[in-house]
A and B are shown apart, each in its own frame.
Chain A
C-alpha cells in the first residue's frame, strides 16, 4: 500500500505517495523528476547516486524514503544558487573534471560535503572523501585538481566577504 510522505529536497517540500520498497533514487528520478541523481550499479558499489542527507553523503539507491522524512535532502539540482553554479561545478566544467559526466553529480556532492567540513583539504583527504565514487573516464586527477581549484575560489570569495573594499576598482 502506498504511503503519503513528505520529503524535503533542495529546500522544497514534496508530498509523494510511495510504495515502501521504492528507493529514494527511484522516487527522486521517477516521481520528482530530479534526474540529476544518476542510477549506476544499484548495489552500493559505484557512488553515482550519492546525495546529501543533512549534509552527509549517502547512497540514494540504498535509502528508503520512508526513513528520511525528517532529513534535508540535497541533490545536484540543489547546488546552484540564484542561477549561479557552485564553484565546484564551475571548476569541474572548466578543468575537464567531467568527461562522460555520469559520475559527476555524485562526485560533486561528495566534494561539497568535504569542503563544508574541511575547507582546506590535502590531496590525500580529497582522495579519501571521494573513495566511494567511481570514475572510469578521468583517472581522477582532473577531479582532484578541480576540487583544489574550487578550494582557492571559495577562499577568495570568503576574503572578499571580509574585505568588500578590496573588490572595488582603485
Chain B
C-alpha cells in the first residue's frame, strides 16, 4: 500500500491566516489546494512536508470575473473543470479552456485547481516513481540522490515542465499574483519559471499564488494542442499553445507561440513569433514558422514515447495549431 507520510493539517479560514501559517511553519510546510499532484508525490515520498496548509476553503482564491474588453481575473483555487467549462473563457481565451480540459481525467479536473496546475512539480521518468523504485536505482538529484539519471554527466536536473495550462497562459500573456506576509507581487507568468528541474519556480516557500490575470482579448484567437499516448490520464509530452492577433487587412499583428513539456520551463518560440508578425499567412510561411518554433524543443529521454517521435511531432503540432487559427480567421471573413 502507498500510504501518505504523517503530517499535521492546518485549515486557515482566510488568505491572511494562510500566509501567516505558511510563514510561521517555514519551508517544512506546504500549501495544498486540490491535492491531485501533491498527494501522489507525497505517497511516493517525493515530498514529505511536516504540515499541510489547506487552501480549499479560502474564498479569496475563488471566482472568475471580468470581461474580454477589460481582462479577466481567475482565482487560483478555481478547479480545472470550472475553467474548462466557463463560457467566457471558452469564447475568448480558448487556449486556456482547452488546456484546462486536457489535464488528466474528469475526476482530477474536478479537484485540481488552476494554481495547482501552474505550480505542478516538474516530472521525469526517473523521479515520478515510488520510493522503492527510486531506492533500487540509487535515487536522482531531484530527490535523495546526487546525479541526474537521464544525463549522468550533467550538473543539472532535466525534469520537465508538464502543466497543460502553463503554455496556454504564457501564450495569452497572463500575469500572476503572489501573496505572503511580506507583501504581494504581480508579474508576467513567465517570471514564475526558472530553467531548473529541481527548483522550477521563483515562488518563495512562504508565498501563495492567489490570482491569474488575463489581458483584454479583442482581436486575439488562441488554441492549445496536446500530444500524449492516450486521450486521457496522460501528462503532455508536448503542449503547443498559439495566440494570434489578426489585423483587418489579414496581416498578423501579433503572435505568441509557447511550448510545454519540452524543457524544465515553458518555452516561447521567439524567432517563430517574430517571423509571423506583420506578415500575411501563406502555407509556406506557416511551415517555416512551425519549423522555427520546433527548433526550441530539445526533448530528452525522460518522458513517454521516444525522443525522435516527440521531436518530429513538434513542427507538426505547431503547424496544426496555426492552421486551426488561420482557418478560423478565413472562415469568419467569408461569413
Contact = CB atoms under 8 A, between A and B. Distances in A.
B111 A43 contact: no
Interface of B: 1-9, 11, 32, 35-36, 39-40, 43-44, 52, 54, 56-57, 104-108, 110-111, 231-233
Contacts of B4: 21-23
A19 B39 contact: no
A67 B105 contact: no
B9 A43 contact: no
A-B CB proximity, top 9 nearest? A132-B105, A20-B9, A131-B232, A21-B4, A132-B107, A43-B40, A42-B2, A132-B106, A62-B39
A19 B110 CA distance: 25
Contacts of A53: 110
Contacts of B7: 20-21
Q: How would you classify the secondary structure of chain A's contact residues: helix, strand, loop or mixed?
A: loop
Q: Which of A62, A66, A132 has the most CB of B within 10 A?
A: A62
Contact of A43 (B32, B43, B52, B107): B43
Contact of A44 (B9, B11, B108): B108
Contact of B106 (A23, A43, A131): A131
B106 A57 contact: yes
Contacts of A23: 4, 39
Interface string A104-136: 000000100000000000000000110111100
Contact of A58 (B6, B40, B43, B110): B110
A131 B40 contact: no
Q: How large is the interface on A (under 10, 10 to 19, 20 to 34, 35 or more residues)?
A: 20 to 34
A44 B9 CA distance: 21
Contacts of B111: 58-59, 62-63
A45 interface: yes
Contacts of B36: 44, 59, 62
Contact of A64 (B3, B35, B44, B232): B35
Contact of B6 (A19, A43, A63): A19
A64 B9 contact: yes
B35 A62 contact: yes
Contacts of A22: 4
A19 to B, nearest CB: 7
A21 B3 contact: yes
A87 interface: no
Given A42-B2, A66-B9, 8 more contacts: A19-B6, A20-B6, A21-B9, A44-B105, A59-B107, A62-B40, A64-B39, A110-B106
Nearest to B111: A58
Contacts of B107: 44, 47, 50, 57-59, 110, 132
A109 to B, nearest CB: 10
30 contacts: A20-B6, A20-B9, A21-B3, A21-B4, A22-B4, A39-B1, A42-B1, A42-B40, A43-B44, A44-B104, A57-B110, A59-B107, A59-B108, A62-B35, A62-B40, A63-B111, A64-B9, A66-B54, A67-B11, A67-B56, A110-B106, A110-B107, A129-B106, A131-B105, A131-B106, A131-B231, A131-B232, A132-B106, A132-B108, A133-B105
